[in-house]
Structure 1
Amino acid sequence: MSTIGPLRGRDRDLTGASGQNTLVTIMFFAAGIVFLDRFGITFLFPQIGAELHLTNSQLGSLVSVTAVTWAVSSLIFSVLSDRFGGRVKWLIVASLVLFSSAVALIGLAEDYRTMLLFRAIIGFCEGPALPLIQGAVARASSPERRGRNLGIVIAGTLVIGSALAPGIMVGLATAVGWRPAFALVAVPGIVVALLVAVFMRDERSAAGTHRVRARDFRLVLANRNVLLALVGTTVCIGSSIGFGTFAPVFLAARGHSPATSTLVLTVYGLVIALGNIVAPAVSDRFGRRPALCAAAVCGGLLPVFFVLFADSVPLLLVSLVVGLMAGGGLTLITYVVPGESVPPELMATAFALQIAVGETVGGTLGPQIGGAVADATHDLANALLLYGATPIVLVLVSLLIRETAPRRR
């Protein structure tokens, strides 16, 4: 197990509170824009589908193809980044510029095949961004703030890519049309790329202290925590995407108006986003294992509360408070624990491995299994209850992993 410290040398200015805050703030927006550009298109599917005459299956494939190319490229480029060392800053900049440019091209698509190609390119260009961003933040963070800093970055994906995305995408499409909307939403990505280029230090000096060799990657695949985290990440991503897929339909089936459903889901998104800060911060103080166990239990309660309190919006909203711990489960098992379990120069690979497996296995099977259960039982509540049971696996993982929090070690 590796004890990870903050960067040295030229990157010393990032280890202080002010330097860390600057880096984390920039990466908060960078990660949020990654998810806005990835999932923002779904809020415009009614207009896009009508104009291009797309079926529901074709609309679904526009999301799936991005997930596949995302998973593949995240692993490829993260391994290459760790293998050759340094240049993380410029890889992040390149990813932001390239996928933002690809998003702008969506407005030029005239048919399904062209749209599918652009979406595949977006996923391929976006894939490296998040593991490299999290690796840079983890290496620059002091041990007592690492969990919280990584959680803040992931909170950006939920605040910008989920809570604010509907208003941004629908507002732009209403004002200028869906085609120009994609060109406009690409602009923030270019701006953040410039901020990264200006304010982030190049890590070549730090990475040069140990050149990664091909056989060093065995340290990732042979690490107990990394392998256990793969199981936990797959379960987390599968249940999260599955629950997010069916929760809006479930609320509508229970007779709630679109306005009420939007209120509940917006509050849910914001609480989960805040949980990505709270739970990792708790883990900084009390340890990764107990925090992860608590997050898993709370994650199981959320879908159960949706079913129990579906007919009482006030009770449902109050019950969402458990999301303050549940929201951090994915951050802890996907980034914090694996990142602290391998040498610093292999962090991006460890993160990308989690994302690649979690996206392809959990992201694919989660919604499909839930949908099959709902169809077989003719009740969406059973699908949600299934997602409420899956965190039991994450509880077991939390009991089996070795503690990685510097304070607790």
Structure 2
Amino acid sequence: MPFIQADLGLNNAQVGQLAAAAALTWALASIVGGRISDKVASKRTYLVTLLVIFSVASFMQGFAATFVHLIILRLMMGLFEGPTIPVTQSVLAMESSPHRRGFNLGFTMNTANGLFGSILAPLVIVALANIFDWRTAFFFTILPGLIMAFVIWKVMREPEATSAEAAQYGGPAEKGQLKEVLRNRNVLLSVIMFSGFMVYLIALQVFAPLFLTNIRGTSASSMSLIMSAFGLGTALWGFIVPLISDRMGRKPTAVVFGLLSALAPLSFLVIENPVLLGLAVFVLAAGMGVGGMAMSVIPAESVRPAVAGLAVGLPVGLGELFGGFLNPIVTGAVADVYGLSSALLISSGGALVATFFALFLKETAPRIVRRRAGEVVQQTPARDGEPDAVKA
């Protein structure tokens, strides 16, 4: 973004609008795409088609000559990138064993996103922009998308259920499922939590690099290393935190690690040493594991399996709408008036909101739910004439 901002002469509000453009169509496409993912005959073909189209749109950004041109391409990217999360997460929910679902969904969303999107991307893309220019860097972004589309087409099988419960993730849903999903408390809380985490993440990813380069005078290379440290933390903690939640429960894990997220943006304001800042954001990125849980694990576990795609699509779509679309527009405008440090305070506030609403979650981790159900059965007294074995 520092390269694009300087070349096209963008203010902070326009930077926020560029981030918001993809989020707007992503939000709408996630909800519709989540419903489509419950119905399509071939999830593999659906996913490959989405990958190819949004990779081409990413490539085309290198030709953008104006702010408006870039906005249009960002809208196109979000339209075809948005449905990928519901389809991939519903496939994983279908094939995962219940006691491994949190780990599997968290690993693919947080660790993969952290490894490729937050570690390799800042290092590789910033390096390409330094060596060539930002347009050439965009041209290179088509390669991973097309490679993954080919790998998925050759390797991925149509999902097969591992249990009777999992089989329902691929089954058709009856009419009226939207009302059913919207009445679910955990789904509504997941919408709020993921919206908060999107405020946190997008404000941090968009404006922290500008804060470092424009306010602190950090070089582009050092900035990319600091942001990659955040990505490394996302990659490692992204599967560790959901794994912890498989054993300790979704709710307590979300509250404890959610609080860490609120400290990550603040570290940019108080830590000036690049090495210490990199270490801090690496540790505090642990909260990103909670965002993945709110996005997919918790809503998928809270509804009938047949409507899991829709249940995941709603938090993703609405979270993108509020946190990904409205947030950068508002945050960019605020940053123009009050400075870039205000964007980091907004980022921290989003994490705090998500953590607060995590307090009201109903536990869904299969291990914890079964344990509590067993305790209730054991505490239920036997009726007259029943053997003790009935109580167990």
User: 5 Å matches for 1:49-128?
Assistant: 50=7, 55-56=10-11, 61-82=17-38, 84=39, 86-107=41-62, 114-128=69-83
Is 1:297 paired with 2:259? yes
Alignment RMSD: 3.1
State the Cα distance separating 1:180 from its structure 2 match: 5.9
Rounded to whole Å, the distance in 2 between the matches of 1:400 and 1:229 is: 10
Asked if the contact 2:225–2:278 (Cα under 8 Å) also holds between the matched residues in 1, the reply is no
Asked if the contact 1:69–1:123 (Cα under 8 Å) also holds between the matched residues in 2, the reply is yes
State the Cα distance separating 1:292 from its structure 2 match: 0.5
Is 1:136 paired with 2:96? no
Rounded to whole Å, the distance in 1 between the matches of 2:228 and 2:192 is: 29
Instruction: For residues 124-145 of structure 1, give each alpha carbon's deviation from its aligned partner in whole angstroms, at most 9, with x where no partner exists.
Output: 1212112211221222111222
1:316 matched to which residue of 2?
277
Higher RCO (Cα < 8 Å, 6 or more apart): 2
Rounded to whole Å, the distance in 2 between the matches of 1:163 and 1:80 is: 31
Rounded to whole Å, the distance in 2 between the matches of 1:230 and 1:163 is: 27
1:264 matched to which residue of 2?
226
Worse-matched range after superposition: 111-120 or 293-302: 111-120
Rounded to whole Å, the distance in 1 between the matches of 2:62 and 2:345 is: 39
2:290 matched to which residue of 1?
329
**SS, match of residue 176 in structure 2:** helix
2:386 matched to which residue of 1?
none
The one-letter code sitting in structure 1 at the alignment partner of 2:117 is: G
State the Cα distance separating 1:216 from its structure 2 match: 2.2
2:151 matched to which residue of 1?
195
1:288 matched to which residue of 2?
250
Instruction: Decide whether aligned partners of structure 1 residues 260 and 108 sit closer, same or farther in structure 2, where only a CA change above 3 A counts.
Output: closer
Instruction: For residues 341-399 of structure 1, give each alpha carbon's deviation from its aligned partner in whole angstroms, at most 9, with x where no partner exists.
Output: 112222221222112111111223434554565566x4644543443344333233222
State the Cα distance separating 1:112 from its structure 2 match: 5.5
2:164 matched to which residue of 1?
none
State the Cα distance separating 1:223 from its structure 2 match: 0.7
Asked if the contact 2:251–2:361 (Cα under 8 Å) also holds between the matched residues in 1, the reply is yes
Instruction: For residues 63-117 of structure 1, give each alpha carbon's deviation from its aligned partner in whole angstroms, at most 9, with x where no partner exists.
Output: 43222122212211221232x3542222111111222233344455566555444
Instruction: For residues 293-325 of structure 1, give each alpha carbon's deviation from its aligned partner in whole angstroms, at most 9, with x where no partner exists.
Output: 1111111222333333x2344543443354253
Is 1:348 paired with 2:309? yes
Asked if the contact 1:162–1:269 (Cα under 8 Å) also holds between the matched residues in 2, the reply is yes
Worse-matched range after superposition: 95-104 or 217-226: 95-104
- From the CA coordinates, give the structure whose radius of gyration is larger: 2
**SS, match of residue 201 in structure 1:** coil
Asked if the contact 1:66–1:120 (Cα under 8 Å) also holds between the matched residues in 2, the reply is yes
Rounded to whole Å, the distance in 2 between the matches of 1:208 and 1:363 is: 28
Worse-matched range after superposition: 64-73 or 224-233: 64-73
Unaligned runs of 5+ in 2: 162-166, 370-392
**SS, match of residue 195 in structure 2:** helix
Rounded to whole Å, the distance in 2 between the matches of 1:200 and 1:402 is: 34
Matched residues, number: 361
Instruction: For residues 185-231 of structure 1, give each alpha carbon's deviation from its aligned partner in whole angstroms, at most 9, with x where no partner exists.
Output: 32332221222223222248846974212212322111110011111
**SS, match of residue 220 in structure 1:** helix
Question: Please, which of 117, 121, 133 is the counterpart of residue 161 of structure 1?
Answer: 117
State the Cα distance separating 1:174 from its structure 2 match: 6.3
State the Cα distance separating 1:54 from its structure 2 match: 6.3
TM-score normalised according to structure 1 size = 0.77
**SS, match of residue 327 in structure 1:** helix
Asked if the contact 1:68–1:123 (Cα under 8 Å) also holds between the matched residues in 2, the reply is yes
Is 1:227 paired with 2:188? yes
TM-score normalised according to structure 2 size = 0.80
Instruction: Decide whether aligned partners of structure 1 residues 295 and 66 sit closer, same or farther in structure 2, where only a CA change above 3 A counts.
Output: same
The one-letter code sitting in structure 2 at the alignment partner of 1:294 is: V
**SS, match of residue 211 in structure 1:** coil
Rounded to whole Å, the distance in 2 between the matches of 1:86 and 1:98 is: 20
Unaligned runs of 5+ in 1: 1-41
State the Cα distance separating 1:59 from its structure 2 match: 6.0
The one-letter code sitting in structure 1 at the alignment partner of 2:85 is: L
Instruction: Decide whether aligned partners of structure 1 residues 60 and 375 sit closer, same or farther in structure 2, where only a CA change above 3 A counts.
Output: closer
State the Cα distance separating 1:61 from its structure 2 match: 4.3
Instruction: Decide whether aligned partners of structure 1 residues 343 and 197 sit closer, same or farther in structure 2, where only a CA change above 3 A counts.
Output: farther
2:102 matched to which residue of 1?
147
Asked if the contact 1:225–1:338 (Cα under 8 Å) also holds between the matched residues in 2, the reply is yes
Is 1:400 paired with 2:360? yes
1:45 matched to which residue of 2?
4
The one-letter code sitting in structure 2 at the alignment partner of 1:78 is: G
Identity of aligned residues (%): 33
Asked if the contact 1:43–1:166 (Cα under 8 Å) also holds between the matched residues in 2, the reply is no
